[in-house]
Amino acid sequence: MNLNRRSLLLAAIAAGFGSLPLAAMAAPLTIGFSQVGAESEWRTANTMSIKDAAKKARVNLKFADAQQRQENQIKAIRSFIAQKVDVIAFSPVVETGWDTVLREAKAAKIPVILTDRTVNVSDESLYVTFIGSDFVEEGRRAGRWLLEHVKKNSPDSAVNIVELQGTVGSGPAIDRKKGFEEVIAANKKLKIIRSQTAEFTRSKGKEVMEAFLKAEGKKINVLYAHNDDMAIGAIQAIEEAGLKPGKDIVIVSIDGVKGAFEAMIAGKLNVTVECSPLLGPQLMKVAADVAAGRPVPRRIVTQEGVFPAEVAAKELPNRKY
Ligand code: AHR
């Protein structure tokens, strides 16, 4: 609890409201949230989830969009500190470079919650908890699906993979690459022949896939995209090159947004590994616990599945993002 909330509470007690329940006396919780940007369908759903949950929980949410830039996130966090919010939450665009600003938050006694992505800091006490997916496991799930697919369909051929990575230095880009490579190492026929960032966006996904196709042409058997948006952009590039996405080039991606399900139903994408953006309700609950001084788990992992094209039509009506 920061000084604002504590002094309001003390004032309420001094004014004779000591017997009222805490919720009736305390000012609404103020959370400062710094979002990465609006780079993908996933991110838009994540922003909506956080804003909706804040409204429902009657939280005073101060929301800042960093437009994919770390310096904007650092500025936003400093402004939340200056405004003496109760809790700071953010989804860090990259993993490193947070020590100084998080030390400032700690010195101001404002607890920090990480959502979606984590940070790499020298002092783990600089944040209270991290709510989000296990990105390494997502990469492994994508790799396992591909190993099975190859075993069933082309066990004796060489498999040339191109990879569209997420934002350089971001948790999901680092971990999804790591998990995927770890699993496909089991079959020496699978080889990543090109790997480049497309910054998690559709437009870059298309642009980089065009360059891959120019360089490697029909040698490409598989595209592994770190998110659905880049896969959707790449599908366009593959079609424009006169090839059939999902058939001539097998496509494996991550997120599980509606756009990916539509692409699977159209036969243009083979599988999506789920990564849930619906973190808002958990964030509001954890922030309330933290502000009230209740203990919270250090790591809260989101539960997710894998959706191959065969289940897409049945699953689409259930998708919330
Ligand atoms: O951090 C989660 C990733 O960020 C999602 O996979 C991607 O779509 C987003 O932009």
Quick: pLDDT tens for 23-53.
445 689 999 999 999 999 999 999 999 999 9
Question: Measuring from atom 4 of ligand 1, which residue has the nearest CA?
Answer: 43
CA–centroid distance, residue 35 to ligand 1 (Å): 11
In one letter, which amino acid is 174?
Answer: I
* 308 inside domain: no
**Residues 163 and 81 reside in one and the same domain:** no
**pLDDT of 168 above 90:** yes
* pLDDT at 16 (0 to 100): 37
CA–centroid distance, residue 190 to ligand 1 (Å): 25
CA–centroid distance, residue 173 to ligand 1 (Å): 9
Q: How far apart are CA 102 and CA 249, in angstroms?
A: 44
**Residues 67 and 170 reside in one and the same domain:** no
Interacting residues of 65 by C-beta distance below 8 A, sequence separation 6+: 35, 37, 38, 47
**Residues 99 and 209 reside in one and the same domain:** no
Q: Please answer whether residues 168 and 208 qualify as being in contact, where contact means their C-beta atoms are separated by less than 8 angstroms.
A: no
* 316 inside domain: no
**pLDDT of 18 above 60:** no
**Residues 34 and 82 reside in one and the same domain:** yes
Could you identify the atom of ligand 1 that is nearest to the CA of residue 257? Answer: 8
CA–centroid distance, residue 275 to ligand 1 (Å): 8
Rounded average pLDDT over 256-279? 98
**Residues 141 and 265 reside in one and the same domain:** yes
Rounded average pLDDT over 171-193? 98
**pLDDT of 191 above 60:** yes
Angle, vertex CA 91, rays to CA 85 and CA 94, nearest 5: 125
Rounded average pLDDT over 182-204? 98
* 184 inside domain: yes
Structure tokens at 156: 């004796």
Rounded average pLDDT over 252-264? 98
Could you identify the atom of ligand 1 that is nearest to the CA of residue 37? Answer: 10
**Residues 144 and 257 reside in one and the same domain:** yes
* pLDDT at 10 (0 to 100): 39
Question: Measuring from atom 3 of ligand 1, which residue has the nearest CA?
Answer: 172
Strand, helix or coil at 41?
Answer: helix
**Residues 173 and 269 reside in one and the same domain:** yes
Q: How far apart are the first and last CA of the chain?
A: 34
**Residues 93 and 171 reside in one and the same domain:** no
* pLDDT at 307 (0 to 100): 98
For residue 190, what are the domain limits?
Answer: 135-275
* pLDDT at 64 (0 to 100): 98
CA–centroid distance, residue 283 to ligand 1 (Å): 17
CA–centroid distance, residue 40 to ligand 1 (Å): 7
* pLDDT at 27 (0 to 100): 80
Rounded average pLDDT over 271-281? 98
**Residues 122 and 198 reside in one and the same domain:** no
In one letter, which amino acid is 292?
Answer: A
* 311 inside domain: no
Q: Please answer whether residues 193 and 162 qualify as being in contact, where contact means their C-beta atoms are separated by less than 8 angstroms.
A: yes
Could you identify the atom of ligand 1 that is nearest to the CA of residue 116? Answer: 1
Rounded average pLDDT over 86-111? 98
Could you identify the atom of ligand 1 that is nearest to the CA of residue 41? Answer: 8
**Residues 181 and 282 reside in one and the same domain:** no
* 26 inside domain: yes
Its pTM stands at 0.92
* 306 inside domain: no
**Residues 220 and 252 reside in one and the same domain:** yes
Interacting residues of 102 by C-beta distance below 8 A, sequence separation 6+: 77, 112, 119, 121, 126, 127
Q: What is the largest CA-CA distance in the chain?
A: 80
* 67 inside domain: yes
For residue 48, give the CATH number of its domain. Answer: 3.40.50.2300
Determine the distance from the C-alpha atom of residue 192 to the mean position of all C-alpha atoms in its chain, rounded to a whole number.
24
Return mean pLDDT, the chain. Answer: 93
* pLDDT at 26 (0 to 100): 66
Lowest mean pLDDT among 15-29, 66-80, 247-261: 15-29
Rounded average pLDDT over 285-296? 97
**Residues 229 and 110 reside in one and the same domain:** no
Residues with CB under 6 A from ligand 1: 39-40, 42-43, 116-117, 172, 200, 227, 229, 254-255, 275
Report how many domains make up the chain. 2
Contacts 24+ apart (CB under 8 A), 174-177: 174/95, 174/135, 175/134, 175/135, 175/136, 175/138, 175/139, 176/135, 176/136, 176/138, 176/139, 176/142, 176/226, 176/254, 177/139, 177/226
Rounded average pLDDT over 73-102? 98
* 317 inside domain: no
Q: How confident is the model at residue 22 (pLDDT cuts 50, 70, 90)?
A: very low
Q: How many residues in the chain?
A: 321
* pLDDT at 208 (0 to 100): 98
Rounded average pLDDT over 208-213? 98
Q: How confident is the model at residue 154 (pLDDT cuts 50, 70, 90)?
A: very high
